[in-house]
Amino acid sequence: MDYADARKRMVDGQLRPNKVTDLRLLEAMRELPRESFLPPAVQARAYTDEEVPLPGGRALLEPMILARLLQLAAVRPGDRALVLGAGTGYGAAVLARMGARVTAVESDAALLAVARVALPACLPAGAVRLEAASPAAGFAGSAPYDVVLIEGEVPEVPPALAKQLAEGGRLVGVIGDGRRNGRAVLGQKLGGSFTTSAVFDCAAAPLPAFARSVGFVF
């Protein structure tokens, strides 16, 4: 398979027709080998216009959804970025290629193993700080962040994440009820207050770490 040609077709056939206009974002996704962030058995699906299944019931976001989320985040070179539920590291790699300083948090050992190979192969040393931890708590050690990307569907934005945003910071992700009928949201911290707004409909695999706790029923 000619992966370079597939990347170009992904950008020209999936991203540009769906209102993705950020040139740095388009260039990053044209250059990064998305297939390197997938297990060998599913690499041939790297550039399809759908999410790609990963171990543990997870999935690599559909290219168009990831691109539109990152465009919403209005990433600037030098931004301090946090990726939660980073999976195999592709979203973190795109942010780093756009010039952000990235911390990526993932708890699944199998996905981390892929990320630890793919990220150094595609980016300069230290471009992404990869942390093995629960993403639901964010990562206060490197806060505050200008950009937070939640790379999957969650039922709500945990309050702890808003506290880790810098003034003027942006958070993007997908809010839904686990039935893949979610809404992409943009959260912003302005004047010390955090507000979110729904932007477009989309489907994404739920992130187990963000699932609501089930209480006792009497």
As a whole number, mean pLDDT of residues 34-60 equals 96
Evaluate whether residue 152 is within a structural domain: yes
Q: What is the pLDDT of residue 1?
A: 85
Please count the structural domains in the chain: 1
Residue 178 has pLDDT above 80, yes or no: no
The residues near 202 (Cβ < 8 Å, ≥ 6 apart) are: 62, 65, 68, 174, 182, 183, 184
Evaluate whether residue 26 is within a structural domain: no
CA–CA separation, 71 and 163 (whole Å):
22
90-97 and 63-72 helices, crossing angle to 10°: 50
The residues near 13 (Cβ < 8 Å, ≥ 6 apart) are: 49
CA–CA separation, 36 and 69 (whole Å):
21
| Per-chain mean pLDDT for the chain | 95
Evaluate whether residue 3 is within a structural domain: no
Q: What is the pLDDT of residue 181?
A: 81
As a whole number, mean pLDDT of residues 185-205 equals 95
Q: What is the pLDDT of residue 212?
A: 76
Q: What is the pLDDT of residue 70?
A: 98
Residue 164 has pLDDT above 50, yes or no: yes
Residue 180 has pLDDT above 80, yes or no: no
Its pTM stands at: 0.95
Please, which pLDDT band fits residue 179 given cuts at 50, 70 and 90? confident
Give pLDDT tens digits for 1-45.
899 999 999 999 999 999 999 999 999 999 999 999 999 999 999
Evaluate whether residue 169 is within a structural domain: yes
Evaluate whether residue 31 is within a structural domain: no
Evaluate whether residue 142 is within a structural domain: yes
As a whole number, mean pLDDT of residues 134-146 equals 96
Evaluate whether residue 143 is within a structural domain: yes
Q: Give the structural domain span for 204.
A: 64-210
Residue 127 has pLDDT above 60, yes or no: yes
Please, which pLDDT band fits residue 214 given cuts at 50, 70 and 90? low
Output the domain CATH number for residue 94.
3.40.50.150
Evaluate whether residue 129 is within a structural domain: yes
- Asked if omega into 63 is within 30° of 0 (cis), the reply is no
